[in-house]
Amino acid sequence: MIRYFQETSVLVLFSAFIFGCNSQENRESSEKEDLKQPNIIYIMSDDHAKNAISIYGSRLAEIAPTPNIDRIAKEGVLMNNVFVTNSICTPSRAAILTGQYSQLNGVYTLKDDFDNSSNHLGKLMQKAGYSTAVVGKWHLHTEPTGFDYYNVLPGQGLYNNPKLKEIGKPWKYHNKGGEVYKGYVTDVITDESIKWLDNRDKSKPFFLMSHHKAPHGLWEFAKRHEHLFTDEDIPEPNSLYENANHGPIKGERYGSSISDRYPRRNMLHQVTREGWPTGIIDTIGMTREEKIHSAYQKYVKDYLRTVAAIDENVGRILDYLDDNDLAKNTIVIYTSDQGQLLGEHDYFDKRWMYEESLSMPMVIRYPAMINPKQVNNDMVLNIDFAPTLLEFAGAEVPSKMQGRSFKSNLLGSTPTDWRTSMYYRYWMHMAHHYIPGHYGIRTKDYKLIFFYGLPLNRNGALSEITEPYWEFYDLKNDPKEMNNLYADEKYQTIIKELKAELLVKKKELKDTDESYPELMELRNKFWN
Ligand code: CA
């Protein structure tokens, strides 16, 4: 690319010298300038599972198509192996902006404030000459910095007639403040994103982060989608009837009923409970299996109805780019802050290192440089997003960022030393839904998870300690992670190697556990 830029500037100078600057040449030179610094629209939803995007071909693909998100992939790249480093809203957003893991950026849990004085992606894009904006869900507690314009939801925000907090007014902390915008939140966020695009400083390339609340729970769909799926039976995952027993905390440990210390985000505990926003289902007289079936149908239908509005609004953004002659030189990304379990193992929610919550959907289109219909299988992490966008913007990537640009991967050339394993860590031990603190390593074929079960004094973590527990999955033969083979003789050599690699990763990523003596003590006892 460097050679191309040099040729471009020579060509521009030559044209200006010989022929003078007529409008044709101006157009040509500005088109090539655009190539140097593409516009970027980063659309990120909240808790959108890969399984709920039809181009990924899951059990839901036929019944719940997402033609507009799919269109981005068909005209660009479908990313198959994108993973979150800490599967929960606030930490993932901080990792995306800083290009760093939680242990470096300081946002470990939902309770931690983002350090808005840090030199994050927004600020670096501003410095690179971009006009920058963030619209929609923010969830980082402190006031957005690095954006010429912001209009963000307080906290989680509301599905109907949401409030938004606009730049220029006194900032009220996290979930406070804002003015009411009439309408459905996904439409409102797109309206405000398009409004900013219309009014932006057109002398600069733009970087817009358009962040949706949907499909985050609890699910309230737009009125126009209430008819969807009414007479249909949504396909179920095979693991739906596991009674939320997958993982370290078994129901029987706390009694056979759903107790306060049971992973709570399961079908029976929450979907059938009062307070479900679209009404509770009548399960009187049903068997336990029938109840789980009904609860699953209710949950997934509500979820997919909120996804329908997301897909429509992605279409509105693509139409806007077409109508304004911006499609070619604009990078469009669609992703989510993490994945989501959609009834797999009888769970919903994220947090777990299981595939459905660890995986992030990602499709990218950039017609000026990226050929259509590409599929990329490289292991990409959310900490790689900032370095990648900075490289596309022609800006330097700060060395303190732990992620790596995957620009050349997108252009069809994966570096030979690209990562072959990834490190994951969930810190918010037992908070809200009783999922223990854990970390692990995932390679192409295997996954090893250590549930250490300690609060480690992290904000919001529960003080209750859970028993240490290991899980190992052979992803090639068991992609749905149905069988924990940690004790299987056949895999002991591989498990040993993975443990060693996990420690190397932890050292590399400055997360050695040495500042947590209680965890080091536990490791000494339970590592082998
Ligand atoms: Ca989220």
Mean pLDDT for back-to-back runs of 10 residues, the chain (528 residues): 37 39 46 71 98 98 98 98 98 98 98 97 98 98 98 98 97 96 98 98 98 96 97 96 84 44 75 85 92 95 98 98 98 98 93 98 97 97 98 97 98 97 97 92 98 97 93 98 97 98 98 97 95
Q: Ligand 1 centre from 138 Cα, in Å?
A: 11
According to DSSP, the β-strands at 341-342 and 348-349 are antiparallel
Q: What pLDDT shows up at residue 19?
A: 39
Burial bucket for residue 206 (CB in 10 Å: 0-12, 13-18, 19+):
buried
Mention the CATH class of domain 38-226+293-412+419-526: alpha beta
The Cα-based distances of 285 to 267, 291, 389, 510 in angstroms read 17, 9, 55, 54
- Quick one: pLDDT at residue 193? 99
Residue 77, strand partner residues: 364, 374
Exposed, middle or buried by CB within 10 Å (0-12, 13-18, 19+), for 489? exposed
- Asked if 329 and 368 count as a contact pair (C-beta separation under 8 A), the reply is yes
Q: Which amino acid is at 110?
A: L
Give how far Cα 374 sits from Cα of 44, 220, 411, 421, Å.
Answer: 21, 34, 9, 22
Cα(360)–Cα(222) distance, integer angstroms: 24
What pLDDT was estimated at residue 272?
80
Task: Give pLDDT, residue 56.
Answer: 98
- Using DSSP's 3-state secondary structure scheme, residue 226 falls into coil
Neighbours of 348 (CB within 10 A): 27
What are φ and ψ of residue 492, in 5° steps?
A: -60, -35
Distance from Cα 89 to the centre of ligand 1, integer Å: 4
Query: Ligand 1 centre from 157 Cα, in Å?
Result: 13
Whole-number Å distance, alpha carbon 199 to ligand 1 midpoint, is 29
Distance 307 CA to ligand 1 centre (A): 14
Burial class (CB in 10 A: 0-12, 13-18, 19+), 34: middle
294 touches 283 (CB < 8 A): yes
Task: Look up the pTM and report it.
Answer: 0.92
CA–centroid distance for 162 within its chain: 22
Taking the centre of ligand 1 as the mean of its atom positions, its distance from the CA of residue 73, in whole angstroms, is 22
Whole-number Å distance, alpha carbon 468 to ligand 1 midpoint, is 26
Separation of alpha carbons 435 and 265, rounded Å: 10
Q: 203: which DSSP letter? A: T
Three-class DSSP category at 431: coil
SS (H, E, C) 41-59: EEEEECCCCHHHCHHHCCC
